[in-house]
Structure 1
Amino acid sequence: MNRKKALVVFSGGQDSTTCMFYAIAHYDEVELVTFNYGQRHSNEIEVAKSIAEEQGLKHHILDMSLLGQLSPNALTAHDMEITKEADEEMPNTFVPARNMLFLSFATALGYQIGAGTVITGVCETDYSGYPDCRDIFVKSMNVTANLAMDRNFVIETPLMWLDKKETWAMADDYGKLEYVREKTLTCYEGFIGDGCGECPACRLRNEGLNAYLNERD
């Protein structure tokens, strides 16, 4: 297992693309893994493929379509409107066990390819109430993966304590702010770049960008 080799959980969105540039800056070898779980827009996979190709990185795409069969949610049930009702504990975009399964499969792939580090862009600061984005969950998965495979993996979360403004600042530190802004797909409606501007993902992303640009300028 190579501590200098990292595997990035990669969706082609703002956070995972920023993590990709973080990995390129800190590791000798970087590979990407994208999960096809029946997400709302299949062009998310195409965006991830395109970025991986442009960066010259080996890209694994794993079939996780079973996630869409487990429970109804707005990311896999394409006819479901994205909402967060006042009495809901979390948005209906929450996909139960998604990050638990993603990290299980990512560490298994890391075992296969000899990557000592798995990097994921989950964030507790702007985590929308998703329980599987919390630091305590990631640490527990790290322990579980190490015990399950008898390897000393490190699951690294560079964005865990950053808000969206600070995530944009990180991309800018690597000289990649415009690349992340123009090439990535965060929008729940499937629009690349600045997105639709209306969905929760776009609002969070664009508010962070505007706050960072106003502070920088």
Structure 2
Amino acid sequence: MKKIDSINSFSLISHTEPDRKLIVHLREVYKKAKKKFDELDINFKLLNISKDEFKQLLKIACYCHDFGKTSIYFQNKLKKDNLSIKEKKLSEHGLISAFFGYFVAINEFQLDERLASFVFMAIRYHHLNLDNSEEMQKVDELEKILEIFKGIKKNSKEVDSIYYKLLKLENITEKFEKFLNEYKNRVFMEDIDYIDPYFFRFKDY
């Protein structure tokens, strides 16, 4: 699939008033986060992580945190005032973005599960009320994630182009779909109650 090259050719947006292109927003978030990181005096030894590893986590989390906004459901939400209950649910982007970030950390950057879990948690909880965090990770949410992903596939050309441009990832939509299907099969075979990234052992897709 031919990738989109020019920034002006990207159409997905992250916010309105004014409209802001998603790819521009992701770059701005990373730029600000990196600036803040450079100003901090972090004790990496205490965290049991190297500076280079932390930089990788920061980049992945910033670029993947709004992945779910690429769905047609979220894009429609930005243009529509009155949403049905179903439309509101499918326009959510936090959990699928957290799984995507975790997947990218493990599969594309070859980070271990401990480090990748930092990405998952950073993305999952940056918009979440911690009082209901357990409720939000019941396995029922997985069906919603799979439905949201169908809406992301509708924009797969631009999604692949965004993540190639930002992180040099190839065919990332297709790879992530394989992961989600494998994860779904494992979850229902094992009959677990809560979504947990550690439950899945990643393969190379």
What is the TM-score of this pair, normalised by structure 1? Answer: 0.30
Larger helix proportion of the pair:
2
TM-score under structure 2 normalisation? Answer: 0.32
